[in-house]
Amino acid sequence: MRYQKLGNTDIDVSVIALGTWGLGGGSVWTDRDSTVEDTRNLLDICREYGVNYIDTAPVYGTGASEELLGRALKGRRQDFILQSKCSLNWRNEGGNFHYERDGYTVNNDTRAAAVKKDVEDSLRRMQTDYLDSVIVHYVCGSFPVEETVGAMEDLVREGKIRTYGLSNSQPADLAAYRRVGGKVSVVQEFFSILSPFHGREYFEMCRKNNTVFQTYGVLEEGFLTSPAFLDKEFAKTDIRSRLPWVAPEKKEGLRRAFALWAPMCEEYHCSYAALVEAWALSQYDRMSLLVGMRRGYCEVSGYQAEGGGYQAHRGGCKGNSGCGSGQIGFEKA
């Protein structure tokens, strides 16, 4: 496993990170709810294959993901770099309406008091006294950037967080945070081989400031793991049922893509998932790959850093993607 600094901090993070949205379950992930034992198993896999970077959020299962991690991390919190988020909450204390789900109204609030309360709640749920990184889950233009940055800097001084970042934002938001003294270490945005231009506009700005670009959606919620995944059916509330790839014509296009990739996978002895992940990691020199998992049981392939990029090769880790689907890329180093 290769490691890199998180922004301009001294925090060493693996280039592959464990995403835990699916871990929270709820109506958007309808396979089944995860357990503490599932979570411990995933952390065992991460530890074995050198993945130390864990990403979660308060709204992943309205606290369920953080609570599972908190229970599973007992006795080994020091082994992992723990990242959560702020701004989205279901406390009904103001902010902008964001969505309703599973009986909760979720608002987006980046004011100082809300940011600090989000972090305090995360610390309690995860049974820890600090978070290594906190990301503004959705940048909100309704409230002053200076207020949000001030709250983050207060939390750093208080030792409750070590650094912070942005998600679901625009390059102009990153510039605005920088202008008021924001020390943004990581930008977390959607990026995949099927959407190769979304997020790319960040790369030069991130490079100038040593900012890590962390991509989510690289496996398109499982649709890029294997042709077999295309035959799966999902409940109407499941996020995967609302993706464009469920349309028959889109599935046919993906099948043609798998046919093109098959010779490369055979040459490099890797899965389809490992191939598209390797492509993503090669696109920016400070890339972080966020891969969601819920349960660990199926064989996967990994990466080997060569010449500044990544080459897929035969590896071995056991993990099931957050979309309940397939193969992810951990390398035993």
CB 298 within 8 A of CB 326: yes
- Above 50 in pLDDT, residue 326? no
What's the confidence (pLDDT) of residue 27? Answer: 79
Cα-based torsion angle of the residue sequence 245, 16, 20, 127 in order, rounded to the nearest 10 degrees: -170
pLDDT tens column, 274-324: 999 999 999 999 999 999 877 664 333 333 322 223 333 333 333 334 333
Share of the chain above pLDDT 90, in %: 77
Helix, strand and coil content of the chain, in percent to the nearest 5, comes to 35, 30, 35
Per-residue pLDDT at 296 = 65
Neighbours of 44 (CB within 10 A): 14
Section 242-266 average pLDDT: 96
- Rounded Cα gap, residues 34 and 320, in angstroms: 12
Helices then strands, counting H and E runs in the chain, come out as: 8, 14
pLDDT value for 292: 85
Q: Which two tokens stand for residue 322?
A: 């957050």
Residue given tokens 């967080």 in the structure block: 161
Band (325; pLDDT cuts 50, 70, 90): very low
pLDDT score for 34: 86
d(CA 159, CA 150): 14
Fold of 3-244+281-296: TIM Barrel (3.20.20)
Q: Is the pLDDT of residue 75 over 90?
A: yes
* Amino acid 220: pLDDT: 94
Nearest C-alpha neighbor of 141 from the set 96, 100, 99: 96
Per the prediction, the chain carries an average pLDDT of 88
For 93-148, write each residue's pLDDT tens digit: 999 999 998 899 999 999 999 999 999 999 999 999 999 999 999 998 889 999 99
Determine the pLDDT at residue 86. 98
- Rounded to an integer, what distance in angstroms lies between the CA atom of residue 7 and that of residue 208? 11
**pLDDT computed for residue 321 by the predictor:** 40
Task: Output the pLDDT for position 33.
Answer: 78
Q: Please state the rounded mean pLDDT for residues 223-232.
A: 94
Band (71; pLDDT cuts 50, 70, 90): very high
Sequence-distant (≥ 6) Cβ neighbours of residue 211 within 8 angstroms: 7, 165, 174, 184, 185, 186, 187, 205, 286
Tell me the average pLDDT across 151-156. Answer: 98
Q: Is it the case that residue 229 has pLDDT exceeding 50?
A: yes
Residue 83 pairs in a beta bridge with 55, 133
Q: Answer yes or no: is pLDDT of 164 > 80.
A: yes
> Given a cut of 50, is residue 254 above it in pLDDT?
yes
